[in-house]
Amino acid sequence: MKKAIFPFILAAAATSGAVASTPVYLDPKAPLEDRVEDALSRMTLDEKVAMCHAQSKFSSPGVPRLGIPEVWMSDGPHGVRAEINWNDWGHAQWTNDSVTAFPALTALAATWNPAMSALYGKNVGEEARYREKDVLLGPGVNIYRTPLNGRNFEYMGEDPYLASVMVVPYVQELQKNGVAACVKHFALNNQEQWRGNVNANVSDRALYEIYLPAFKAAVQEGGAWSIMGAYNKIWNQHCCHNKRLLEDILRGEWGFDGVVITDWGGAHDTREAALNGLDIEMGSFTNGLTSESEFTYDDYYLGRAFRDLILSGEIPESVADDKARRILRLIFRTAMNTDKPFGSLHSPEHYAAAKAIGDESIVLLKNSGILPLDPAAGKKILVVGDNATRRLTDGGGSSELKVKDYVSPLDAMREVFGAGNVDYARGYAAGRPMYGREEEIPAAVQDSLRAEAVAKAAEADVVVFVGGLNKNHFQDCEGGDRLHYELPFGQDAVIEALMQANPNLVVANITGNAYAMPWADKVPAIMHVSYLGTMGGASMADAISGAVNPSGKMPYSIPVSLADCGAHSFGVNAYPGVESEEGDVLFGVCAPQEQYSEDILVGYRWHDTKKIPARYAFGHGLSYTTFAYGKPVLSAKEMTADGSLTVTVPVTNTGTREGAEVVQMYVGDDKASVLRPRKELKGFEKIVLAPGETRDVSFTITPEMLAFFDEATHAWRSEPGAFTLFIGGASDSTPAVAKFKLK
C-alpha cells in the first residue's frame, strides 16, 4: 500500500497544472451510460473490486478518489430500520433514527389495491431518503408456500398475479425518491428452517408460473434497480451466485441492468460469485474490521481473492468492469442523483398513509352480526390478549423497527369507545423474545391469567380477544419457522373459556400467517389483522366500531389443518426437506434436499384442484355491507391466439352502507394436456359502491392469461379449447361464470 502512494501523488501532481472541465461522470445532465463509462475508465482494478463488497454492516464503498459516494443500505421493507453498528449487529443508539412503521407487506397485499402500494412506496421512500439511504432492502415477494414460514408476513401472499400487481407501484414510487428497491429474496426462500443451505428442487413450470412472476414484474414493470439473492440453493447452487438464476434468467431473459446484492452472508465461493452474476457481497462472516485485522472486509469472497484471480489472468478484468458498471449505475440513480427530493420522516402524511393502508388491509373473516360495535351504545367492552398492548414493531428479525409512535389496540379501543367503557385482561402470557427456543411459561401463570380474563368476561357486554402470533423466535420471525400450526401460549383454551363465559366474543387476532381455528364455528366474529405498524391499533378499533368498513381480502388461504396444505401433503421431503451428506456445512447442518412436490398447486390452486376446502379461502373477506354479482357478458364467444375479449359483470351493493368490494376474476382451462389448476387469478379491481349502487366491472382477457409454462419448449403455451371465467368476491365464491373458446 505505502509503495503505491508516491507514484500516485506524483502522477496527480503532473496533471494538476491545467484547469480541467467537469468530467462527464459528474455531469448530471449527461446520459447515464456515458457517465458510467467515463467513471469506469478512470477507475483502478482495486477500486472496482472494492465496490463489490461491504465496508461495514450496511454500506459498500464508493470511489473516494473520484468523489463517488458510498452505497448506504437499510432494511426494509416495512419502514427504515434503526442504525446498526459499523461492524456488528448491535443498535448504534442514534437518537434521530425513529421512524413510521408501515403495515407488513402481507397487510399491503390484503388491501388488493395497487393505489395503496403506490402510497406505501412513496411514503416509505420519503423516510428512507430522509434517513439518507440509497437502497431499501425490500420489498419481499417470496410466495407463501407453507403457513409455518416465519417470514410470510414480509411477503405478498400465495398468488403470483396478486404479488406482481402489488409489487410494481411500490417499487416505482419508492424509487422516485432516489432510493433503490432491493427486491428479495431471489428466489425460493420460502422457509426459514435451514434457509442457509436447503436445496429447493422445483420444476421449471412451478418456478416460472408460481415463484418468479412477482420478481419479473418488479424488474421489468417496476424497473427495480437492485435485487437480493436468497440464502438457499436451487439446482444445488447457492442463489446468491446461481448461474441459471442470475445470468440466464435475471439478466438474459429479463434484461436486468441493476445490481445483485447478496443476502447478508449469502456468498460462499469466489469463482461462482465472480462469474455467476453477483455484484455486491454483504454480511459475510468476517469480524467486520477493515484492513488491520486478520479477517477483514478485504477477505470477502469478492475482495482480495477476486482481485487475485483477475491479476493471475484466471478471470478477465471485464468481469470486474461489468460489476462496477452496474454499481456505478446504481450510485448515479441514487446517491449521486441530484434531482432527488429531500424526503421526510414520521410526518402526519406518513401516519395517514400507514393508517389508510392498515384500514384497507383488515379482513373480516366471519360476522354473524355482532360487528360493528357502535360506540354510542355505551357497552362495557373487555379487551383480552397480549397483542392488545405488545409493541409488535419490535422483534421479527431484520424487519424490526424503532418507532417514534405506536398506537396499541387497547389505547385505540379506549379512545374510540371511551376509557371508562373498556377494561383489559391479559388472558395469557406470550413470552419474551428468546433465540433458539420458545419461552416456557409456567402453567400456573397461564391458568391465573385465563381465570382473571374469564371472570371479567362474565361481567362485560362484549369481549374482544386480541391475540395471535408475535415477533418472537419461532413465531412471525426471521431465522426460524413456526413449530406448529396452532396458536401458541394456550390461546385456544382462553378463547374457548371466554366463549363459555360470554358468547358475545369477537376474535381479532394479529398475525402474519394462517393458523388453526378450532373454535371458528362457535365464535360469532373473526377478524384477521396483520402487523399494521404505528397506526395499527387505530385501524383495528375503527374496523371494530365500523368507522372503517372492512375491505381486505385474504392474500393466502387459511387451511383447516396443516395436512390440508399442498406443501405438507408429501411429508418431510416436501417440507422442511431431508438432510443429506451432500454439499457444504453451514449452521451445523448438512445441505438438506427439499422437493416441491405440490408443484404448481400452491395455496388455493391446491385446495380447489384437490377439492380440499380451506377454512377461509384465498380472496375471502366480508364487509359490513353485502354485494351481489349479476350476469357476466362477453364481448365474443371465441378468441383467437393473438386476439382478446372482454368480460363485463355488474356488481351491486345490496346492503345499507357504503363499502368496497374486490371483484376477482379467475381463469380455468376446461381441458388441457397437462395438469392445470382449477382456476387462477388473472384480474381484480377494488371498487367502492354506495348502498344500492351498481357498477359494471370489465376485464380484458389476453392469450397470456390462458397459457401455462411448457417445459419442453421453455415457452408459454395455450391450448385451443374451452375456458371458464370465474368472477366473484373470493376464490371460493365466484357466482358470475362465463365460458368462451380459444381458437
User: Taking a C-beta distance cutoff of 8 angstroms, is the pair 125, 428 a contact?
Assistant: no
Rounded Cα distance between 174 and 280, Å, is 21
Nearer to ligand BGC, 219 or 543 (CB): 219
160 binds ligand BGC (CB under 6 A): no
Could you say which of 263, 279, 360, 564 contacts ligand BGC (CB under 6 A)? 263
Report how far apart the first and last C-alpha atoms of the chain are (Å, whole number): 70
Number of residues that bind ligand BGC (CB under 6 A): 7
CB 89 to ligand BGC: min, Å: 8
Rounded Cα distance between 75 and 533, Å, is 15
CB 189 to ligand BGC: min, Å: 8
Q: Report whether the peptide linkage leading into residue 64 is cis, meaning its omega lies within 30 degrees of zero.
A: no
Dihedral (CA of 472, 478, 480, 482) sign:
positive
Could you say which of 53, 145, 184, 268 contacts ligand BGC (CB under 6 A)? 184
Our measurement of the distance from residue 81's CA atom to the centroid of its chain's CA atoms, rounded to an integer in Å, reads 15
Nearer to ligand BGC, 77 or 729 (CB): 77
User: Taking a C-beta distance cutoff of 8 angstroms, is the pair 306, 49 a contact?
Assistant: yes
CB 398 to ligand BGC: min, Å: 4
CB 7 to ligand BGC: min, Å: 39
CB 261 to ligand BGC: min, Å: 9
Could you say which of 264, 424, 684, 708 contacts ligand BGC (CB under 6 A)? 264
Local structure of 722: helix, strand or coil: strand
Query: Which grid coordinates belong to 293?
Result: 485485522
Could you say which of 232, 334, 398, 623 contacts ligand BGC (CB under 6 A)? 398
Q: SS3 sequence, 372-415? A: CCCHHHCCCEEEECHHHCCCCCCCCCCCCCCECCCCCHHHHHHH
Contact string 644-683 vs ligand BGC (x = CB under 6 A): ----------------------------------------
Nearer to ligand BGC, 189 or 387 (CB): 189
Contact string 68-107 vs ligand BGC (x = CB under 6 A): -------xx-------------------------------
Nearer to ligand BGC, 67 or 90 (CB): 90
Residue tagged active-site, from 134, 159, 263, 279: 263
Local structure of 180: helix, strand or coil: strand
Nearer to ligand BGC, 264 or 300 (CB): 264
Nearer to ligand BGC, 75 or 476 (CB): 75
CB 281 to ligand BGC: min, Å: 13
- In eight-state DSSP terms, residue 726 is E
Nearer to ligand BGC, 171 or 681 (CB): 171
User: Taking a C-beta distance cutoff of 8 angstroms, is the pair 107, 117 a contact?
Assistant: no
Local structure of 649: helix, strand or coil: strand
DSSP calls for 595-612: E-TTTT--THHHHHHTT-
CB 73 to ligand BGC: min, Å: 8
Contact string 221-260 vs ligand BGC (x = CB under 6 A): ----------------------------------------
Could you say which of 51, 101, 105, 137 contacts ligand BGC (CB under 6 A)? 137
Q: Which residues contact 198 (CB under 8 A, 6 or more apart)?
A: 191, 232, 233, 576, 577, 591, 592, 593, 594
Residue nearest to ligand BGC (CB): 398
263 is catalytic: yes
Rounded Cα distance between 45 and 324, Å, is 10
Q: Binding residues for ligand BGC, per CB under 6 A?
A: 75-76, 137, 184, 263-264, 398
**Active-site residue set:** 263
